């Protein structure tokens, strides 16, 4: 124990009232996490007075970093006017208009409190619209914690099954067998196998859920051919194509779907469009979204939510989205390319097999050099996972905060010298890995 560490003291205290001292699995770090005190722009101060350059930005949500003056002003104004009402407010219309204008697949949208809820409502909408029970999703992909959406998430090699027909594996213990029975797991970027699975299950498939740049699948994009096949086959078979843009909305005004050229039937959004507050949204074709329409009586899919479309999230989200003009996207893309290039050079200089994947402001590090196209390619060996955790700790101890499994998300306040600092720190951290022969 380090008696001078406030983070360690807080974790010890937390263990008395939170299981394992933790309320969010993704932010746990062994032996204890570093606790945040406050942040401004692209920097976070921890409770021990260390200053970190923030490369995770609340798991990609804070595209403008911390405490952006325009977002803070919007939130403060609304807080003084009331934070939530048992009535709709004008603020939800303004954010809906902006998203419908920018995102090709969104004609109508409903707001939720999280990406998890957005995905859950999208899957329910697809089932109600088609009258079919099953959902297809990509092996290993993360879509939040709704039972069907988390099936096969992070599945380990012992559970993979056939490469052409991956096993439907429950993520949480105790998941009812009916859940896994209603999920068809697709091998990412494998056109013939995916098409065969869609055709085999067509009569019972309501929708295909896909993240076009899936983080847990290695942050490698869906190939153009894969997307063309998905759009053609789902349209032919009456299956809805559901694109999860909870993370990838940060890639372009119209999200990854506009960047990669596919228009889905339903789209889920979240993270950046809450301006730092809890948010999610499910949008899509007006005829499909009509399953939520209450004007003719009880809708096919009733959907409420005490804090759905609360005006604090709505006005802060609108402010965040309005700041995202072409100049800001161009800078985020340029910084992403600079960082990917710098990190790849750092691997080469250190003589360590590794690579940086991703697109735009999203970057993922891998401790393997082979070309990655699928979940199984990208899946780290136990030694690679341990080495990545060590790399993360070396980065953290040198003032760079990223996800422990190698995810980086940039923010608009970052400048060229911040990118250079991250690259320089990666050089130092990789040198430790090489010196200590961690790999
Ligand atoms: N979909 C994707 C692709 C995500 O990455 C996430 C969260 N990281 C979610 C859905 C769930 O969003 P939330 O954490 O807001 O529930």
Angle 235-221-358 from CA coordinates, rounded to 5°: 155
CA-to-CA distance for 168 and 38, rounded, in angstroms?
41
pLDDT tens digits, 194-237: 999 999 999 999 999 999 999 999 999 999 999 999 999 999 99
- Mean pLDDT, rounded, for 407-433: 98
The CB of 150 under 6 Å from ligand 1? The reply is no
Contact criterion met (CB below 8 Å) for 345 and 357? no
Asked if residue 116 has its Cβ within 6 Å of ligand 1, the reply is yes
Model confidence over 317-346: pLDDT tens digits?
999 999 999 999 999 999 999 999 999 999
Query: Does the ipTM surpass 0.95?
Result: yes
Q: Is the pLDDT of residue 398 over 90?
A: yes
**Pocket flag, ligand 1, residue 190 (CB < 6 Å):** no
- Give the pLDDT band of residue 53 (cuts 50, 70, 90): very high
In angstroms, what is the span from residue 153 Cα to ligand 1's centroid? 12
DSSP string, 319-377: HHHHH--HHHHHHHHHHHHHHHHHHHHHHHHHT---EEEEETTEEEEES--S---SHHH
Do you find a cis peptide bond into 96, omega within 30 degrees of 0?
A: no
Active site (annotated) includes residue 405? no
Q: What is the pLDDT of residues 163-191, one digit of tens each?
A: 999 999 999 999 999 999 999 999 999 99
Model pLDDT, residue 319: 98
Query: CB–CB of 411/61 below 8 Å?
Result: no
Q: 439 falls in which pLDDT band (50, 70, 90)?
A: confident
Catalytic residue among 271, 375, 379, 418: 271
Above 80 in pLDDT, residue 242? Answer: yes
Residue 359's beta-bridge partner residues? 362
The average confidence (pLDDT) of the chain is 97
The answer to whether residue 226 is catalytic is no
**Structure tokens belonging to residue 198:** 């869609």
CA angle, 325 then 111 then 276, to 5°? 50
The active-site residue, picked from 147, 182, 244, 418, is 244
Contact yes or no for 263/105 (Cβ under 8 A): yes
Residue 97 is predicted with a pLDDT of 98
Contacts of residue 415, Cβ cutoff 8 Å, sequence gap at least 6 = none
pLDDT of 1 > 80? The answer is: no
> What percentage of the chain reaches a pLDDT higher than 70?
100
Query: Can you give the pLDDT at residue 438?
Result: 87
Distance from residue 318's CA to the centre of ligand 1 (Å): 19
Ligand 1 pocket check for 270: Cβ under 6 Å: yes
Of the candidates 300, 258, 298, the one whose C-alpha atom is nearest the C-alpha of residue 106 is 258
Quick check: CB of 211 below 6 Å from ligand 1? yes
CA nearest to 213, candidates 141, 321, 114: 141
Element (H or E) spanning 41, and its range?
none
CA nearest neighbour of 320 among 94, 80, 116, 43: 94
Q: How many other C-beta atoms lie within 10 A of the C-beta of residue 331? A: 16
Ligand 1 pocket member 28 (CB < 6 A):
no
Tell whether the torsion through CA atoms of 94, 99, 102 and 106 is positive or negative.
negative
| pLDDT > 80? residue 127 | yes
- On whether the CB atoms of residues 44 and 51 are closer than 8 A, the answer is yes
Tokens matching residue 242: 């559901």
Pocket test for ligand 1, best of 113, 271, 308, 364 (most atoms within 8 A of CB): 271
What Cα–Cα distance (Å) separates residue 113 from each residue in 118, 307, 376?
8, 7, 32
- The answer to whether the CB of 35 is under 6 A from ligand 1 is no
Mean local confidence (pLDDT), 235-252 = 98
Q: Are strands 407-409 and 108-112 parallel, antiparallel or unpaired?
A: unpaired
For the CA of 115, the closest atom of ligand 1 is 12
Residue with tokens 């290993």: 140
Nearest alpha carbon to residue 38 among 52, 26, 27, 25: 52
Atom of ligand 1 nearest to the CA of 26: 8
**Nearest atom of ligand 1 to the alpha carbon of 59:** 8
**Once rounded to an integer, what is the mean pLDDT over residues 106-130?**
98
Contacts of 359 (CB under 8 A, 6+ apart): 213, 219, 221, 251, 256, 259, 336
Which of 111, 117, 247, 405 best tests ligand 1's pocket when mutated (most atoms within 8 Å of CB)? 247
In the structure encoding, which two tokens stand for residue 284, read together? 């899509």
Question: Can you give the pTM of this predicted structure?
Answer: 0.98
* Euclidean distance between CA atoms 343 and 363, whole angstroms: 10
Positions of E strands within 12-112: 36-40, 43-46, 51-54, 108-112
Closest by alpha carbon to 342, among 439, 427, 272?
427
Q: What is the arithmetic mean of pLDDT over 431-435? A: 96
Question: With 80 as the cut, is the pLDDT of residue 274 above it?
Answer: yes
Q: And the tokens for 417? A: 């010298």
Q: What is the pLDDT of residues 387-396, one digit of tens each?
A: 999 999 999 9
Neighbour-count burial for 258-288, b at 16+ CB within 10 Å, e otherwise? bbbebbbbbbbbbbbbbbbbbbbbbbbbeeb
Neighbour-count burial for 92-103, b at 16+ CB within 10 Å, e otherwise:
bebbbebbbebb
Question: Reduced to 3 states, what is the DSSP secondary structure of residue 180?
Answer: helix
Q: Is the CB of 280 under 6 A from ligand 1?
A: yes
Ligand 1 binding pocket includes 111 (Cβ within 6 Å): no
Distance 53 CA to ligand 1 centre (A): 23
> Can you give the C-alpha Rg of the chain in angstroms?
22
Q: With residue 433 as reference, give the H or E element that holds it.
A: helix 416-435
């Amino acid at each position: 124990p380090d008696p001078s560490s406030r983070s360690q003291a807080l974790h010890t205290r937390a263990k008395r009232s939170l299981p394992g001292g933790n309320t969010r699995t993704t932010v746990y770090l062994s032996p204890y996490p570093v606790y945040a005190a406050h942040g401004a722009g692209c920097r976070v101060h921890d409770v021990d007075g260390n200053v970190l350059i923030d490369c995770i930005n609340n798991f990609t949500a804070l595209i403008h970093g911390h405490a952006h003056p325009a977002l803070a002003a919007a939130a403060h104004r609304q807080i003084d006017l009331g934070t939530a009402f048992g009535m709709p407010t004008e603020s939800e219309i303004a954010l809906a208009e902006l998203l419908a204008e920018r995102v090709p697949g969104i004609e109508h949208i409903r707001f939720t409190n999280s990406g998890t809820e957005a995905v859950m409502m999208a899957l329910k909408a697809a089932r109600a619209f088609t009258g079919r029970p099953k959902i297809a999703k990509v092996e290993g992909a993360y879509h939040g914690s709704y039972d069907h959406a988390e099936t096969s998430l992070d599945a380990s090699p012992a559970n993979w099954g056939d490469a052409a027909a991956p096993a439907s594996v429950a993520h949480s213990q105790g998941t009812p067998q009916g859940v896994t029975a209603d999920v068809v797991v697709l091998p990412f970027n494998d056109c013939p196998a995916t098409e065969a699975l869609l055709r085999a299950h067509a009569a019972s498939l309501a929708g295909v859920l896909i993240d076009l740049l899936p983080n847990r699948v290695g942050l490698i994009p869906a190939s153009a051919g894969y997307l063309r096949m998905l759009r053609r086959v789902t349209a032919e078979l009456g299956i809805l194509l559901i694109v999860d843009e909870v993370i990838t909305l940060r890639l372009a005004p119209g999200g990854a779907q506009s960047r990669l050229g596919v228009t889905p039937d339903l789209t889920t959004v979240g993270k950046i469009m809450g301006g730092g507050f809890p948010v999610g949204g499910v949008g899509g074709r007006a005829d499909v979204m009509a399953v939520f329409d209450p004007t003719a009586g009880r809708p096919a899919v009733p959907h409420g939510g005490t804090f759905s479309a609360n005006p604090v999230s709505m006005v802060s989200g609108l402010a965040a989205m309005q700041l995202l003009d072409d100049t800001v996207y161009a800078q985020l893309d340029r910084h992403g390319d600079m960082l990917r290039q710098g990190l790849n050079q750092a691997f080469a200089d250190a003589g360590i097999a590794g690579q940086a994947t991703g697109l735009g402001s999203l970057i993922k590090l891998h401790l393997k050099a082979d070309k990655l196209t699928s979940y199984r390619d990208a899946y780290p060996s136990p030694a690679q996972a341990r080495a990545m955790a060590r790399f993360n700790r070396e980065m953290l101890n040198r003032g760079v905060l990223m996800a422990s499994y190698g995810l980086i998300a940039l923010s608009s306040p970052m400048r060229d010298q911040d990118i250079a600092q991250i690259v320089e720190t990666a050089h130092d951290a990789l040198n430790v890995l090489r010196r200590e022969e961690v790999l």
